[in-house]
Structure 1
Amino acid sequence: MDLKLEVVVLPVSDVDRAKAFYEKAGFRLDLDKTANEDWRGVQLTPPGSACSIIFGKAVTSAAPGSAQGLYLVVSDIEQARAELVDRGIEVSEIFHDADFFYHGHEAGEVTHRLQEQQRLAGPRPERASYGSFATFSDPDGNGWVLQEITERLPGR
């Protein structure tokens, strides 16, 4: 049985502001539907992705900005970061984790950790797949991670 992730719900406080941000970031608008004055849904898809995001009015009860560690996989971290910056998106500098594994949270956000992560400047020196990152947030603080993957692990 195949199980395919199709949509991720994002909690936002201002639907139009979020829509403008994601369109500016290059996401494709798939749907902007208002059922009545109490409900509106907006769906967008990142370039090249099979999974979309949806947000809107009365779409979720989660606190705006509470979605964290949303990964966007890219084949060239430097090019992806530069494109987002050119589009006016504030993106962190490229980094890698001292222990190779970055789990999408800033230090101190997660209270139960096996280990603290340590960001080191620049891409992973050998540019190994899964090893280089950059982060950005939408206007509400929903947190995104760019991760460079040039070769998938076996079984993917």
Structure 2
Amino acid sequence: MDMKLEFVVLPVADVGRAKNFYAALGWREDADIGEGDGRVVQLTPPRSGCSIMLGRSLTTAAPGSTQGLYLVVDDVEAARAELAGRGVEVSEVFHDAEGGLPRANGGGRVPGLAPERASYFSFASFSDPDGNVWFLQEITTRLPGRLW
């Protein structure tokens, strides 16, 4: 059975403001349907098979409560620079002191790229206007069995 992740619902307070933020990142608008509390917007990052869905009536989660969304990039420094150039407040590049994924509390962050620029372990982070947290993750070589 084929299963593909189609979209992730992001809790936002203002759908229009969130739409403008993600559109400014260069994300493609796939849909903008309805009005008021029923308005739903779908946007897709460049070259991604998964989208985000924005809408106040889609979830009971508090706006800004989503953390740990990952955008995979070939070059985290270049991706960070592009986001900053688009006006996004984005962290400096970092890696985890223990060689793992970023911790929810922000602890263990070491400035700079992962040692030997190991694939999967260099990051930068940013938040949308509501506080939903995203990570840029540099992946240059995929683990066996993982598809692009």
Long gaps (5+) in structure 1: 108-116
The answer to which structure has the higher helix fraction is 2
Tell me which residue corresponds to 2:139: 149
Amino acid at match of 1:73: V
Q: CA deviation at 1:57?
A: 3.1
Instruction: Report the Cα distance in structure 2 between the residues aligned to 1:48 and 1:104, rounded to whole angstroms.
Output: 27
Question: Could you tell me the percent identity over the aligned residues?
Answer: 64
Aligned residues: 146
CA RMSD of aligned residues (A): 1.3
Instruction: Report the Cα distance in structure 2 between the residues aligned to 1:49 and 1:24, rounded to whole angstroms.
Output: 16
Give the alignment's TM-score, normalised by structure 2.
0.94
- Aligned pair 1:129/2:128, yes or no? no
Contact 1:29 / 1:44 at 8 angstroms: preserved in 2? yes
Q: CA deviation at 1:38?
A: 4.0
Q: CA deviation at 1:104?
A: 5.3
Alignment map for 1:21-36 (pairs within 5 Å): 21-34=21-34
SS at match of 1:134: strand
Instruction: Report the Cα distance in structure 1 between the residues aligned to 2:92 and 2:6, rounded to whole angstroms.
Output: 29
Q: CA deviation at 1:139?
A: 0.5
Instruction: Report the Cα distance in structure 1 between the residues aligned to 2:18 and 2:41, rounded to whole angstroms.
Output: 9
Contact 2:11 / 2:56 at 8 angstroms: preserved in 1? no
SS at match of 2:26: coil
Instruction: Report the Cα distance in structure 1 between the residues aligned to 2:56 and 2:109, rounded to whole angstroms.
Output: 36
Long gaps (5+) in structure 2: none
User: What's the CA shift string for 1:88-138, capped at 9, x where partnerless?
Assistant: 11100000001111145234xxxxxxxxx4111011131110010000000
Tell me which residue corresponds to 2:109: 119
Q: CA deviation at 1:37?
A: 4.5
Moved over 2 A (4+): none
SS at match of 1:80: helix
Amino acid at match of 2:70: Y
Contact 2:66 / 2:133 at 8 angstroms: preserved in 1? yes
Instruction: Report the Cα distance in structure 1 between the residues aligned to 2:96 and 2:110, rounded to whole angstroms.
Output: 6
Q: CA deviation at 1:65?
A: 0.4
Tell me which residue corresponds to 1:59: 58
